A and B are shown apart, each in its own frame.
Chain A
Amino acid sequence: MFNIDFNGEFAAFFIFSAIMIIGAVLMVSLQKVVHMVISMAGVFLGLAGMFVLLDAEFVAFVQVLIYAGAVSILMIFGIMMTNHQAAKADPVKPLHETLAAIAALCLFGILFYAIRMTDFPDAQPMPAILDNTSGIGELLYTGYVVPFELLSVLLTVAFIGAIAIAKKGADQ
């Protein structure tokens, strides 16, 4: 794992991962909720950069559009509509937080151990695809068209459901 050559790819990886980790850590440690969402948006952007590094440009764009755009704004909407300033004096639960931290660390330890111990066989060369988007489009509309259609049904159901739940007239 340590036989890395310091080229651009490595530098980009390093920067993007730094952004992601810092964003994630800030998210769990900041006090104000809106700040948490902003740092989360930073994580999403860093992840988009990672996707570019992995030759998945289309996924990167979709990530920026959906996550850094729609989901973050959605969360801010949710915060704004649910009285984000009231809950200030939160009782601290140190035992719970400590245990959760230990559990998360242990899980990471297990995963890290698994990754270290695995012998990844040498990768076959990737078939050269010049245009990532058209490649995905081909795959999506030929091989995976059924899941695609199902997904659109899911989205329809989801937004109808969201409107139905969040409608103001629901409690009257």
Chain B
Amino acid sequence: MDQFTQTAWLIPLFPFAAFLLLTALGRGYRRAGVLIGSIGSLAALVMSLLVFFERLDPDAVDYSDGFKWIDLGDYALKIGFEVTNLNALMLVIVTAVSFLVNVYSAGYMKKDERITVFYGYVALFTFAMLGLVLSDNMLVFYIFWELVGVCSFLLVGFWYARPAARAAAKKAFIVTRIGDAGLLLGIIVLFWYMPGHALDFSSIHNVFSEGQSGAITMSITTSIALLLFMGVIGKSGQFPLHVWLPDAMEGPTPISALIHAATMVAAGVFLLARTFDIFEASAAAMHTVAYFGGFTAIFAATVALAQNDIKRILAYSTISQLGYMVMAMGLGSMTGGIFHLFTHAFFKALLFLAAGSIIHAVHTQNIQEMGGLGSKMRITAWTFGIGALSLSGIPPFSGFWSKDMILASALDENPFLFVVGLAAAFCTALYMSRLFFIVFMGKSRLQQPMEIRESSKVMTIPLVVLAVLSVGVGFVETPWNGWLGSWLSDGSEEVHANAAAIVASIAVGVLGIYVGWIMYGKGSIERGAATARVPWLVNLLERQYYVNEFYNVVIVKSVRGLAEGLRVFDEYIIGGAVRLVGLTSVAGGRVLTRINNGQTQVYGLTAVIGLLVIIAAIVGRRFW
């Protein structure tokens, strides 16, 4: 019964083969390229579903396999894959969203002449993400982590002719690199201290769980955990390394859906889940993680209130929801974090794809230039609404169940974070309803009159599928029937219903939608009221608390200054030394020219001097 689990290593290879084929095909063959990419991800999806169904069996055992890659003295580097319940779930998430994005892009990117390259990059990304999910030790994980970052760079900068896209791609890569440096240090420290230098996740689980760290002291454990968390901060967009995510919206919208909503940014949360034992062993690390997550959640939610670019609102929403996931992890509820990752993948991908559908129709991203689209783009509007309700945490949509689980564990462990989570939930509901009412309701405020039609089926069908998923997947884990938790952690997590949390989260969500309706839907409160009364607050929020400007002044300018100083050093000192060598040779040559002036006596003198030198050398050897 295990045959699919044992051949799970094939799953990443389908999109990888698609990538190779697409690269070989080149820019022509557009329809074939679309088909190849979609088939690759479909094959991966089918196989992931098969593996998932196998894992649903309560007797399923974790399976791992691998081979030895490099022998270094008494230590061997292994490459292998592992199939656990967590992995199987992630496989399904990644392949499902990837397949839907492949289908959607056939419509969205239809007019782009580099569409085959796009599909190639998407296939490569899918391969890397699947490899990351299946990896069984930290080193292979890190390799795929970096590869995912590279694919993000390639895809964000896909329209490289635009300087903003180029800059955004560089920023994404560099900022996540900072986090990756911390992650690498964490891996190195882990390597140093693990018995037998083993880096695979099962050894980590054995060493760190149940307080059996033994030889590894608490401070070392905390530092390992914090260094690993740095990688999470970078990749999953926590404060302060969140600045790359909004700029990464320069990439095509399907990419924003795939990478920056559902999968790559979830890799950080996935890392937290995989190495959860290390974090659980250190209370200090857990607190740090929880507070970072909570702060990010409320920070990003407030910024999203004042943005006017539809994709940026969704980007800050992603940052905020990632903050929720990280906070859940920090509060000890791994199930909560993974569950929210699961639901968030679907409804955020849905929101992004719907936004892409809107952008495709009206050719602008500024919500102040949209309006009244609800009547013209019905499917998009309905699916967007479902996604928005799910995000705001309204039952019975999936977002409610996962957010409620997080808030319940916050109420249990850390009431302060519970309040923070509630505030962020309020802001979430508010900005989503603001977005919905401005874009879909009211009068049209388009700059140029154009005919608005619903998008083609190839773009709307994925929306519908995702909407169904956004409704349905929530029921795998409710406070009364915690199947997911026990399945993920082999029955060691408890679940309990917390009425206060449920009531509070519903109330806050409804309140946010109501306020949004008043302000933006009905128009009872003037739209510009906030701007008129507290312009400084609105400005602060709109400029994202000036974080980017701060980084520019403090970090970018100083690095540029250092680079300039080094350039001057290189040009004048090192370049000067090189030029000096050249000048010396030329000058030496000029001096030697004088010996060769054709006069016999000069030649004779040179010969006599040479003779004397030889004699001196021969005679002098007696003394030395």
Binding site for B on A (CB under 8 A): 96, 99-100, 103-104, 106-107, 110, 113
In the bound assembly, the distance between CA atoms of A103 and B616 in angstroms comes to 12
Q: Is the CB of B602 within 8 A of A96?
A: yes
Q: Are B602 and A110 in contact (CB under 8 A)?
A: no
Instruction: Please tell me which one of the listed residues B601, B602, B608, B619 contacts residue A107 in the complex, with CB atoms under 8 A apart.
Output: B608
Complex formed: what's the CA distance from A116 to B601 in Å? 31
Do B605 and A96 have beta carbons less than 8 Å apart?
A: yes
**Are A96 and B609 closer than 8 Å at their CB atoms?**
no
Contacting A103 at CB < 8 Å: which of B602, B605, B619?
B605
Given pairs A100-B605, A107-B611, 13 additional interface contacts (CB within 8 A): A96-B605, A99-B605, A100-B601, A100-B608, A103-B605, A103-B608, A106-B612, A107-B612, A110-B612, A110-B615, A110-B616, A110-B619, A113-B619
Chain B residue at minimum C-beta to C-beta distance from A99 = B605
Q: List 23 A-B contacts (CB under 8 A).
A: A96-B601, A96-B602, A96-B605, A99-B605, A99-B609, A100-B601, A100-B605, A100-B608, A103-B605, A103-B608, A103-B609, A103-B612, A104-B608, A106-B612, A106-B616, A107-B608, A107-B611, A107-B612, A110-B612, A110-B615, A110-B616, A110-B619, A113-B619
CB distance from A116 to the nearest CB of B (A): 13
Residues of A within 8 A of B601 (CB): 96, 100
* Chain B residues positioned under 8 Å from A103 (CB to CB): 605, 608-609, 612
Find the A residue at minimum CB distance from B619: A110
Task: Name which residue of chain B comes closest to A111, CB basis.
Answer: B615
> A110: which B residues are within 8 A, CB to CB?
612, 615-616, 619
Complex Cα spacing A99 to B604, Å: 12
Query: B residues within 8 A CB of A104?
Result: 608
B608: which A residues are within 8 A, CB to CB? Answer: 100, 103-104, 107
**Complexed CA–CA distance, A100 and B605 (Å):** 6
Nearest Cβ in chain A — how far from B605, in angstroms? 5
* Minimum Cβ distance to chain A for residue B594 (Å): 9
Task: Give min CB distance, B615 to chain A, whole Å.
Answer: 6
Interface string of B600-624 (1 = CB under 8 A from A): 0110010011011001100100000
A88 to nearest B CB, angstroms? 19
Q: Which 7 A-B pairs have the closest CB atoms?
A: A103-B608, A106-B612, A100-B605, A103-B609, A110-B615, A99-B605, A103-B612
A96 to B603, CA, bound (A): 11
* Tally of A-B Cβ pairs under 8 angstroms: 23
Report Cα–Cα, A100/B611, bound state, in Å. Answer: 13
Q: How long is the Cα–Cα vector from A107 to B616 in the complex, in angstroms?
A: 10
Residue of A nearest to B610 (CB): A103
| Chain B residue at smallest Cβ distance from A109 | B612
Give min CB distance, A112 to chain B, whole Å.
12
A146–B132 CA distance with the chains assembled, in angstroms? 100
The residue of chain A having its C-beta at the shortest distance from the C-beta of B605 within the complex is A100
Could you tell me the distance in whole angstroms from the C-beta of A161 to the nearest C-beta in chain B? 21
Q: Cβ of A106: which chain B residues have Cβ within 8 Å of it?
A: 612, 616
Find the B residue at minimum CB distance from A102.
Answer: B609
Q: How far is the CA of A103 from the CA of B611 in the complex (A)?
A: 10
Residue-wise, chain B 282-299 has the 8 Å CB interface mask toward A (1 for contact) of 000000000000000000
Q: How far is the CA of A106 from the CA of B608 in the complex (A)?
A: 10
One digit per residue, 1 when the CB lies within 8 angstroms of any chain A CB and 0 when it does not, for chain B 219-257 equals 000000000000000000000000000000000000000
Within 8 A of A (CB), among B302-351: none
Q: How far apart sit A113 and B616, CA to CA, in the bound complex (Å)?
A: 12
CA distance A100 to B606 in the complex (A): 9
Residues of A contacting B605 in the complex (Cβ-Cβ under 8 angstroms): 96, 99-100, 103
Tell me how far the C-beta of B611 lies from the nearest C-beta in chain A, rounded to whole angstroms: 8
Report Cα–Cα, A31/B609, bound state, in Å: 27
List the A residue with the shortest CB-CB distance to B601.
A96
Q: How far is the CB of A124 from chain B (nearest CB, A)?
A: 30
How distant is the Cα of A110 from the Cα of B611 in the complex, in angstroms? 11
Alpha-carbon distance between A113 and B608 when the two chains are bound, in angstroms: 18
B284 to chain A, nearest CB (A): 80
Contacts of B612 in A (CB 8 A): 103, 106-107, 110
Q: How far is the CA of A100 from the CA of B619 in the complex (A)?
A: 21
Taking CB atoms and an 8 Å cut-off, the chain B residues in 568-611 that contact chain A are 601-602, 605, 608-609, 611
Q: Roughly how many angstroms separate A100 CA and B599 CA in the complex, as a whole number?
A: 14
* Complex: A110 Cα to B613 Cα, angstroms: 11
Measured in the bound complex, the distance between the Cα atoms of B207 and A13 in whole Å is 105
A110 to B602, CA, bound (A): 22
CA distance A96 to B619 in the complex (A): 26
Using Cβ atoms and an 8 Å threshold, which residues of chain B touch A113?
619
Give, as a whole number of angstroms, the nearest-CB distance from A3 to chain B: 27
CA distance A107 to B611 in the complex (A): 9
**What separation, in Å, do the CA atoms of A49 and B577 have in the docked complex?**
65
Q: How far is the CB of A101 from chain B (nearest CB, A)?
A: 10
Residues from chain B with a CB closer than 8 A to the CB of A96 are 601-602, 605
B204 → chain A, closest Cβ, in Å?
Answer: 79
Task: Give CA–CA (A64, B609) in the complex, Å.
Answer: 34
Q: How far is the CB of B531 from chain A (nearest CB, A)?
A: 88
Give bound CA distance, A10 to B39, whole Å.
118
Give chain B nearest CB distance to A60 CB in angstroms: 31
Nearest opposing residue in chain B for A104, CB measure: B608
Q: How far is the CA of A104 from the CA of B605 in the complex (A)?
A: 10
Contact with A along B70-104 (1 / 0, CB 8 A): 00000000000000000000000000000000000
What CA separation (Å) do A96 and B612 show in the bound complex?
16
Residue of A96, A103, A110 with most chain B CB atoms under a 10 A cut-off: A103
Q: How far is the CA of A100 from the CA of B601 in the complex (A)?
A: 10
A99 to B619, CA, bound (A): 21
CA A106 to CA B605, docked complex, whole Å: 13
Q: How far is the CA of A104 from the CA of B619 in the complex (A)?
A: 17
> Which B residues, 403 to 457, have Cβ-Cβ distances below 8 Å to chain A?
none
Q: How far is the CB of A123 from chain B (nearest CB, A)?
A: 27
A87 CB, min distance to chain B CBs, angstroms: 15
Q: Which residue of A lies closest to B609 (CB)?
A: A103
Residues in A with CB closer than 8 Å to B616 are 106, 110
Separation of A152 and B616 alpha carbons in the complex (Å): 40
Chain A proximity of B345: nearest CB distance (Å): 87
